[in-house]
Amino acid sequence: MSASDAATKSAVDVTSAAARDLLVDLVDTPSVSGDERACAERLVDFFESHGREVWLDDVGNVRAPGDDGVLLTSHVDTVPGEIPVRVEEADVSETDYDGDTAEVLWGRGSVDAKGPLAAMAVAAVETGASFAGVVGEETTSRGAHFLVEDRAEPDAVVNGEPSGWDALALGYRGYLAGTYAVDVDSVHSSRPDPNAVELATAWLADVKAAFAAPDEGAVFESVTVKPVSFDGGLTEDGFATTATVDVQFRIPPGTTAGEIRATAEEHLDAGSISWGDPLPPTLSSPRTDLARAFRVAIRAEDGDPGLLRKTGTSDANLYADAWDCPVATYGPGDSALDHAPDERLALSEYDRAIAVLERVATTCLEDDE
């Protein structure tokens, strides 16, 4: 029996009510990075209840193998932040469907990325496609790192992040983290000699100026320098001042992590920088069979397909770097609501995204025969 035949035999219908129940349950189950197990177990229950083989692997990823003509994958974890989970009627502007009102699900993770996660789980059960719900995407991508080391390369990857039901993301900037640290002997605050806090802020200002984009609208093509934490002041013994700055750099296509490190280090008048492992940028072709399948599927659901380049970084970067196969990112939701205090998802958009994913997966699995 071929993989496609096996997938066809394992494909099971999922009711609309069951699909929505899964989404609401996932959003209602907190899963901040590092504490994803309860949410992962709800996914396991969903696959088991629909007759699919499923398990939690050594790092906590949800693994439901199927036909590797396409791997549907999204992340289980969220950033912190409590938003009361509820379904409310909202103005029709919240959805693309006709009618006076739409049902909207509020809650942390509804957009980033439990909407895409649940839609992919449903589509995987409906079509027999492979599925993985990974952990730690919002921090170290430990789940995706483990996945690429622990499984064979699929024929294609659809990574779940909010793109809107009628758009496909083909590009992400890369990521590099660094920590600047400096300490200098203390002097009286009336003296002009710079203390560690001044040195750190001056270094940060110089580096930001070095990477300043000539066109403020060209964010995707630019290096973004973002300090995410700062600590400094007089040491406990009073003999020195110290400062540390954690900085994140976003890497556009055409720029390397090495070039960013070199520029940042050129502006060191004092102190040192330690670097983390980089994730390179990714920019996929819109002409792959996978991208074409999405355009056809979106049009079949009465949409006008859009192609996006996103300014952040996701597990798609890691998959594209590790595997030599088409990678695209898709999922319901407005990415402007990622990590926001008003994060919410129109359930009609979720329904439509499931339909698109089912069409795409079916096309990929047929091509795999």
Phi, psi of 321 (to 5 degrees): -75, -35
342 in active site:
no
User: Of the residues 67, 68, 77, 183, which is catalytic?
Assistant: 77
Alpha-carbon distance values, 267 to 21, 159, 277 (Å): 53, 37, 21
Is residue 143 within 8 Å of residue 75, measured between CB atoms? yes
Q: Is 185 helix (H, G, I), strand (E, B) or coil?
A: strand
Distance from CA of residue 18 to its chain's centroid?
25
User: Of the residues 137, 183, 349, 368, which is catalytic?
Assistant: 137
Partners of residue 272 on adjacent β-strands: 181
Report the side by side order of strands in the sheet with 240-251.
Answer: 224-234, 240-251, 174-185, 272-275
Partners of residue 129 on adjacent β-strands: 67
E strand intervals along 65-126: 67-75, 86-91, 101-106
Cα(281)–Cα(46) distance, rounded to whole angstroms? 34
Is residue 75 within 8 Å of residue 134, measured between CB atoms? yes
Residue 16 parent element (H or E) = helix 16-28
Distance from CA of residue 107 to its chain's centroid?
17
Cα(271)–Cα(233) distance, rounded to whole angstroms? 15
Alpha-carbon distance values, 36 to 64, 266, 304, 312, 366 (Å): 17, 41, 35, 22, 34
Cα(312)–Cα(72) distance, rounded to whole angstroms? 20
Q: Is 210 helix (H, G, I), strand (E, B) or coil?
A: helix
137 in active site:
yes
Cα(31)–Cα(133) distance, rounded to whole angstroms? 12
Strands 174-185 and 240-251, how do they pair? Answer: antiparallel
Cα(257)–Cα(279) distance, rounded to whole angstroms? 8
Q: Catalytic amino acids?
A: 77, 137
